[in-house]
Structure 1
Amino acid sequence: MLKNTNITTRKGQKVNEVITSQHLRSIIDDMHNMIGYWDNDLRCRYANNAYCEWFGKQPKDIIGISFRKLTGEHLFSLNEPHIRRVLAGEPQHFERTLSKTDGRVGYIIGHYTPDFDADGAVRGFAIQASEVTALKETTEELKLAACVFDSTGDGIVITDVNGIILSVNPAFIEITGYTAEEAVGKNPRILKSNRHDMAFYASMWQGIKTKDRWNGEIWNRRKDGSLYLERMAIRVVNDVDGKPVRYVSVFSDITALWHQTEHIKHLAFHDALTDLPNRTLLMERLDQKLISSKRKQCNLALMFLDLDGFKFVNDQFGHNVGDDVLKEIAKRLLALLRQSDTVARMGGDEFILILNNPKGKDEITHLANRIVSSINKPMDIRGEVFQIGVSVGIAMYPTDGRTSVDLINNADRAMYVAKASDKNNISFFSPLPSYRNNE
């Protein structure tokens, strides 16, 4: 049976009000995480609803059961090293893939937290197990009693009905940079990032008022000014008359996961070597420009670049040197283009440039010659000096094609004419078989 307790942080800051056992039990029983308590004889003394559901048992069938009998020999043997250590006073953290009673596989992050008596002896330990899915980091919520509140890796904030912070846990301090002394007595608005509009917060509070809870992702700001993304769950704690008396917020910092996801998205549309747009992003941008041109009259020029002499460098000096040459070429091309233009790497030593609404053929020719001149300049790569040439084929919209595929193919043909006539040259596309270099 949970007792009334004053929850304190490691800094010694006491919660100003007592959270009743009924409120704590309500919060813990409703958590999606599995929470239980085992004494040092490995008998279960408490298990929340999620814990019971995971093992497919009723609470009455779990309380008093032995750890070995509940989990079975295989799972017990896996957990036994962690049990030994936690009973020796060492908190445990581990990850594991388990099979549920219904046959489904669950991925678990587990925490074992020792519970010390007044003499410093371990009298039992609290278990918190969170089921997580790919690229999703679930929130850890309040654990059982003060040791759970203190040791959880998620930030926890308890406020009164006016939104005044009554208590924060150590994870809150670590994530936000605010000490307990700095946070208690303040409003959570001290974390406001200003990245969300009033409608966002209005929707949040509407959910809290109508459903007594809110879950979502929100950007906040640390004490040092840096932004972080958190997954947050807010729960209303009501008194016996159903009147709100507390708000409990549990949040986890998922900024690293967000950056990882954004990085994966970036890799899907950018060349891994040069970080230029790849073929997929090039086609998307080109198609968008062609669609826009139908609404608003504009011209486009597409340049197909193929390096001259790159294969010799790659073969004679190795791929590492060749990669550095390609990076230098990308850097030089970017320096010549406007923000509205696009340069992409198609693969190998081929690049494509999209010029947005050029003023005419003279401007295109001038830029093409600047590109040739820039690439021709010697480059010092790993102590060796190289000079690379380039052949440039040019197709113009709408005269040389009305689709992205036609423009690329025609610029490619023009590039081969430039390469055949005289390397390090430019050529505009012409539908006539006998068209000449227009440099």
Structure 2
Amino acid sequence: MNRTKPIQEPTVNAEQLDERLSNRYRVLFTDSKVPMLLIDPSTGSIIDANDCACRYYGYDHRQLTALKISQINQYTAEEVDLEMRRAMAEKRNHFFFVHQLSDGSLRHVEVHSGKVEIDNRDYLFSIIHDITDRHTAEQQLKSLNQDFITLLENTSDFVFYKDKDRRFRFCSQRLAKLTGHNNWKEIIGKTERDIFPEELATNYLSEEPELFKKAEPILDRIEPFLNEKGEKGWVSTSKWPVLNSQGGIDGIFGISRDVTAKQNSEEQLRIAASVFQNVSEGIIVTDTNGIIIETNNAFCSLSGYSREEVINTNPRFLKSGYHDDNFFAQMWHSLKTEGAWKGETWNRRKDGQLFACRTTIKAVTGPDGTVSQYIGVMTDITALLRHHEEVEQMAYYDTLTRLPNRTLLSDRLAQALANGKRNQNTIAICFLDLDNFKPVNDQYGHRAGDLLLVEVANRITECIREHDTVARLGGDEFALVLTQLQSDSDLEQIVKRILSSITQPFKLPNQQQVAVSASIGICLHPDYPQDGDLLLRYADLAMYKAKEMGRNRYYIYREGQI
């Protein structure tokens, strides 16, 4: 804006201007639908204004021409000067200001100003265009663009737009960094083959011809990628065609999200689920109330129940009756106090058969330490226990009579002596040998002899008390350990009962009957405080004394009498 030299002559008023302006100018100025002002540049006074300007600013002609432009323009003198210099630098003949209307509202205006000379004096002829809406839209667009750039620079996703030639128009900073670029703008104009390894680029580009052809989006496709460290990962990619007004495709907009952690987690879950269903151990998962919420195939095979039959039920359907209430109370006490329990359980299958399990139960806790589930793992050890029982039977029991053998007798005798010494109880060690057993074998055979020995074992067992022991030493020899004897009469009653029981006739398989008797030698403890083997030897000597005295009797060992 050119500033004129101070004018010495009196300021021209509107009427004088009316006379001097041409009719053409008056029509243009007065009847224009655009606000127009005539301004004295030396004073900033508004000399004239058309009707449109009066209506726009909200003043009548007299009020408006009584103002100076600085009373309307909200820019300071420095800001006005800056805007004018900016316009000169940008080679534009219009300026941008903010004008205030009579109601106090502010409007953004574009002012086209030009110098006019009237009576050798310079004035500014200004045409005002309201650009408030445009300015607002531009600011919103600028803000939107800035927000979009902020999004591109800060999002963790791989955002991109490619034109129909497959060249990037923009992308997120994460994608730029991934491909070795410092700024996302460096990728503009490049293709996948320019920024990705050949294998990945080929994979990404291979899916797009169909997208251009059908104009249908690709949604949540899982694809490989290499992260910033060069490690293989996975992204979930969605691509949409961007259509123009004619329905053609101008480009492709896409978003890829790093789902490596999710994929790995899902893979771990798939592996865990596979292991869960394929391990040989039966597994059940219950809620905190003990209700089954999940189980595996092995448990169904082990228990005989289907998954549908056990879900939402309590595991007590496995109860076999083998364990008492105290057993389960201790189990729950361990789970509540230690978060785990381990032990052997006997359970009942759906078909009623019993099976033994090595069972481990653990509490599953959340981040706050609260128990959310219980997991029980059951290993079938039925065959193992049966084998163990068989081995134990062979090692400690007589195979014919199922009575303890000499090895187990030695152990029981040692325990009995220790308890007797501690409690000062009398213990009787008895050695029993059948009378006239050999003729039975000779006449009726070993099969008949074996059956007779089994029956003898049963009769002796029926005659003794629960805490006593009877063992078979071999052939027709048996040993007894009678504990907690309160008097001589206790011993006498038991021994006479045994002798009487054995003398009762035995019926053989051929319906023939045979009769045998027994001779019993006895050694008492603590009368003789020696070890078990020596006491049993004394009892053996006493047994031979009983035979010498006529058999079918008992004899108590007395030192010096044998």
Q: Please tell me the TM-score bracket, short chain as reference.
A: 0.5 to 0.7
User: 1:270 deviation in Å?
Assistant: 1.8
Is the aligned partner of 1:425 residue 2:549?
no
Structure 1 residues 360-369 or 335-344, which shifts more? 360-369
Aligned partners of 1:368 and 1:426 also within 8 Å: yes
Is the aligned partner of 1:286 residue 2:417?
no
Aligned counterpart, 1:326: 453
What is the DSSP-based 3-state SS (H/G/I as helix, E as strand, rest coil) of the residue aligned with 1:424?
A: coil
Aligned counterpart, 1:271: 398
Give the whole-Å Cα distance in 1 for the aligned partners of 2:283 and 2:426.
57
Give the whole-Å Cα distance in 1 for the aligned partners of 2:372 and 2:559.
79
Aligned counterpart, 2:345: 219
Identity %: 36
Aligned counterpart, 1:381: 508
Q: 1:257 to 1:204 in 2, by over 3 A?
A: farther
Aligned counterpart, 1:157: 284
1:393 to 521, 527, 533: 521
Aligned partners of 1:195 and 1:219 also within 8 Å: no
Q: 1:24 to 1:207 in 2, by over 3 A?
A: farther
Of the two, which has the highest radius of gyration?
A: 2
What is the DSSP-based 3-state SS (H/G/I as helix, E as strand, rest coil) of the residue aligned with 2:552?
A: coil
Give the whole-Å Cα distance in 1 for the aligned partners of 2:442 and 2:388.
36
Is the aligned partner of 1:25 residue 2:156?
no
Which structure 1 segments of 5+ residues have no match?
Answer: 2-18, 30-141, 209-213
Give the whole-Å Cα distance in 1 for the aligned partners of 2:366 and 2:487.
75
Give the whole-Å Cα distance in 2 for the aligned partners of 1:229 and 1:202.
22
Correspondence 1:41-56 to 2 at 5 A: none
Aligned partners of 2:292 and 2:313 also within 8 Å: yes
Aligned counterpart, 1:260: 387
Correspondence 1:397-408 to 2 at 5 A: 397-408=525-536
Give the whole-Å Cα distance in 2 for the aligned partners of 1:386 and 1:373.
15
What is the DSSP-based 3-state SS (H/G/I as helix, E as strand, rest coil) of the residue aligned with 2:485?
A: coil
Match of 1:406, as an amino acid?
Answer: L
Aligned partners of 1:23 and 1:237 also within 8 Å: no
1:328-376, Cα deviation, whole Å (9 max, x unpaired): 1111111211222221111111111222233433443343333223212
Q: 1:174 to 1:346 in 2, by over 3 A?
A: same
1:412 to 536, 540, 562: 540
Aligned counterpart, 1:231: 358
What is the DSSP-based 3-state SS (H/G/I as helix, E as strand, rest coil) of the residue aligned with 1:357?
A: strand
Match of 1:394, as an amino acid?
Answer: I
Normalised TM-score (structure 2):
0.45
User: 1:154 deviation in Å?
Assistant: 4.0
1:57-83, Cα deviation, whole Å (9 max, x unpaired): xxxxxxxxxxxxxxxxxxxxxxxxxxx
User: 1:202 deviation in Å?
Assistant: 5.0
Give the whole-Å Cα distance in 1 for the aligned partners of 2:473 and 2:388.
24
Give the whole-Å Cα distance in 1 for the aligned partners of 2:534 and 2:414.
12
Give the whole-Å Cα distance in 2 for the aligned partners of 1:313 and 1:277.
24
User: 1:169 deviation in Å?
Assistant: 3.6
Q: 1:431 to 1:173 in 2, by over 3 A?
A: same
Aligned partners of 2:393 and 2:399 also within 8 Å: no
Structure 1 residues 339-348 or 308-317, which shifts more? 308-317
Correspondence 1:36-435 to 2 at 5 A: 143=274, 149=277, 154-158=281-285, 165-186=292-313, 188=315, 191=318, 194=325, 196-204=327-335, 216-219=342-345, 221-222=347-348, 228-232=355-359, 250-383=377-510, 384-433=512-561
Match of 1:431, as an amino acid?
Answer: E
1:81-132, Cα deviation, whole Å (9 max, x unpaired): xxxxxxxxxxxxxxxxxxxxxxxxxxxxxxxxxxxxxxxxxxxxxxxxxxxx
Aligned partners of 1:400 and 1:410 also within 8 Å: no
Q: 1:234 to 1:22 in 2, by over 3 A?
A: farther
Q: 1:23 to 1:318 in 2, by over 3 A?
A: farther
The structure whose RCO (Cα within 8 Å, separation 6+) is larger is 1
Give the whole-Å Cα distance in 2 for the aligned partners of 1:197 and 1:429.
50
Match of 1:175, as an amino acid?
Answer: L
Aligned counterpart, 2:109: none
Give the whole-Å Cα distance in 2 for the aligned partners of 1:195 and 1:27.
40
